[in-house]
Amino acid sequence: MTQLRKGLLELAVLNTIAPAPLYGYDIVRRLSDVDHLVITEGTVYPILSRLKNSGLVETYIEESQEGPARKYYRLTARGRDDLYRMNQHWDSLHQAIGGLRKERKR
Amino acid sequence: MIEMTPAARERLDNYLQRMRSELRGTRAVVADEVEQSVREHIEIALADAHAPVGATEVIGVLDRLGPPERWLADEERPMWRRALDHVRSAPEDWRLAYLAFGLFLASIVFLPVGGILLIIPAMIVSRAYIELSRDRGEPLGARRWLVYPSIAIVLAFAVGLLIVGPPLPALAFAFQDDGFEQVLDIPHSRAGEVRFVLGLGSVLYGSWWIIAAGFCAAFLRPIRFVFAPLLDGVRRKHFAVLAAIGALVAAGGATLIYYRH
């Protein structure tokens, strides 16, 4: 279950920053609103670091008027390609599992 | 930088210390980067709190972040940390055995820098563990592989010392000084010289083995206790055999010296 959640969390992080760059705290807040996804908020930061290490995500610093300077995360071109493939895989997997569940209900 | 009460600052510092320690050595993530992000997270989360921020508010933020020990998947953690956790979470009965083996390994790894000294505490811990198991009436089972090596190494060293003993430096000293050649009446022929050296060596070693056998027989119980359970089967008769061998070797040596010319 932990492994599954970890994989899903990576996918969720990538999807969260796909529309627009976000800073860490904002990513955590958005993911916390998704039920059963985030185990603890801190889990997100090692994932962001790992995604950056893998070249799927890049960062830049932007000054903020409301507090400290914030580190924004955005997808790289490679990250966008990978996310597209991962989402396709997720959709087909979701469909397949949905099919299996329907068969069981019959 | 957010102004905090000393208690809140202490809580935060402890948490960051735990996090650094947990992320250290992990190749998948950059520890400094994660720390920087977490600091930023905490600062943003506490931005609206009244200064100085108290421990309650800080604890609330840290609780939501969760324990750093649970951030990484097991396979992402460095091997040494996983091994350490394995020891920590191992059944209590195994911990002392792991400690003994760890000290034994450290004595080998740090051999060039005096690590050999660690073999003594390794052996003491091993012996303590064996006695503990005996008191509980528990068989050692597979744990013997963790506690026997340090005892075996010290025993091998002690046996080596018993066999080689003081005669070796005594012989070296005897032939170092030319004056002894006259006193000992060493023959000038090559064959005679060899006979004399072999004879003297045999006399010294034979005598030493008789003395050592007598000593070991006299103190058999403490010796068996120190090297238990490896010497549990040793009896006085074994040292009698050593003494007999020593007597034979010494007699042979004396004969060689007598017929040296």
pLDDT digits (tens, 9 = 90+) for B98-119: 888 999 999 888 888 877 888 8
Q: Closest by alpha carbon to A51, among A101, A84, A7?
A: A7
Q: Is B119 a domain residue?
A: yes
CA nearest neighbour of B140 among B205, B181, B175, B93? B93
Contact B46/A at CB under 8 A:
no
Chain A residue numbers with beta carbons less than 8 Å from the beta carbon of B70 are 39-40, 43
The whole-number average pLDDT for the span B183-195 is: 73
Question: CB B76: neighbour CB atoms within 10 A?
Answer: 16
Using CA atoms of B90, B92, B97, B100 in order, give the dihedral in degrees to the nearest 10.
100
Distance CA B43, CA B113 (A): 46
Residues B187 and B169 in one domain: yes
Structural domains of chain A, count: 1
Which of B139, B159, B179 is where one domain is finished? B159
- CA nearest to A74, candidates A29, A28, A16: A16
Residue B246, domain member (yes or no):
yes
- Distance from the Cα of B37 to chain A's closest Cα (Å) equals 7
- The 3-state DSSP composition of chain B as helix, strand, coil percent (nearest 5) reads 80, 0, 20
Q: What is the pLDDT of residue B155?
A: 93
A46 contact B CB<8A: yes
Mean pLDDT, chain B, whole residue set? 85
- Considering the entire predicted model, what is its pTM? 0.55
Which structural domain, as residue segments, surrounds residue A86? 2-105
Phi, psi of A75 (to 5 degrees): -75, 145
Any CB–CB contact under 8 A between B71 and chain A? Answer: yes
Query: Which helix (H) or strand (E) segment is B66 a member of?
Result: none
Residues B47 and B69 in one domain: yes
Pair (B250, B170) in one structural domain: yes
Q: Do both B200 and B154 map to the same domain?
A: no
Position A15 scores a pLDDT of 96
> Which residue shows structure tokens 């649970």?
B70
Looking at the fold, whether B58 and B129 belong to one and the same domain comes out as no
Cis peptide before B166 (omega within 30 of 0): no
Phi–psi pair at B186, nearest 5 degrees:
-75, 130
Half-sphere exposure of B52 (CA within 13 A, CB side): 9
Residue predicted with more confidence, B133 or B246:
B246
Residue B83 lies in a domain: no
Name A72's bridge partners. Answer: A23, A60
Query: What is the rounded average pLDDT of the residues B37-43?
Result: 91
Pair B187, B249 in one domain: yes
Domain boundary among B50, B76, B102: B76
Q: Looking at per-residue confidence, does B74 or A98 come out higher?
A: A98
Tell me what pLDDT residue B59 has. 93
3-state secondary structure at position A85: helix
Residue (of B95, B79, B80) closest to B147 by Cα position? B95
Q: Which residue of B has its CA nearest to A42?
A: B65
Same domain, B183 and B243: yes
Q: What integer pLDDT is reported at residue B76 of this predicted model?
A: 77
Tell me whether A54 touches chain B (CB under 8 Å): no
The one-character DSSP state at B118 is: G
Q: Tell if the CB–CB gap between B64 and A40 is shorter than 8 Å.
A: yes
Last residue within a domain, chosen from B102, B127, B159: B159
**pLDDT reported for residue B91:** 65
Residue B84 within a domain: no
The total domain count for chain B is 3
Task: Determine whether the interchain pair A45/B71 forms a contact, defined as Cβ–Cβ distance below 8 Å.
Answer: yes
Residues of A within 8 A of B72 (CB-CB) are 46
User: Is B88's pLDDT higher than 90?
Assistant: no
Q: Does B33 touch chain A (CB under 8 A)?
A: yes
* B62 plus B132 within the same structural domain: no
Question: Taking CB atoms and an 8 Å limit, are A49 and B45 in contact across chains?
Answer: no
CATH code at A17? 1.10.10.10
- Banded pLDDT at A3 (limits 50, 70, 90): low
In eight-state DSSP terms, residue B75 is: G
Question: In this structure, is residue B81 part of a structural domain?
Answer: no
pLDDT of residue B161: 87
Whether the Cβ atoms of residue B34 and residue B22 lie closer than 8 Å to each other: no
**More confident: B75 or A98:** A98
Which of B229, B237, B239, B248 lies closest to B159 in space, CA to CA?
Answer: B239
- Rounded Cα distance between B62 and B39, Å, is 11
Residues of chain A found within 8 Å of residue B40, distances taken between Cβ atoms: 23-25, 68, 70-71
pLDDT category at B30 given cuts 50, 70, 90 is confident
Inside any domain, residue B1: no
Residue B126 and residue B176 share a domain = no
By the CB < 8 Å criterion, does A89 face chain B? no
**Mean predicted confidence (pLDDT) in B179-184:** 62
Please check whether residue A70 is in contact with residue B44, taking contact to mean a CB–CB distance below 8 angstroms.
yes
Hey, is B10 helix, strand or coil?
A: helix
> Between chains, do B44 and A70 touch, taking CB under 8 Å as contact?
yes
Residue numbers of the domain that contains B64:
6-76
Per-residue pLDDT tens over the stretch B57-77: 999 999 999 999 888 877 777
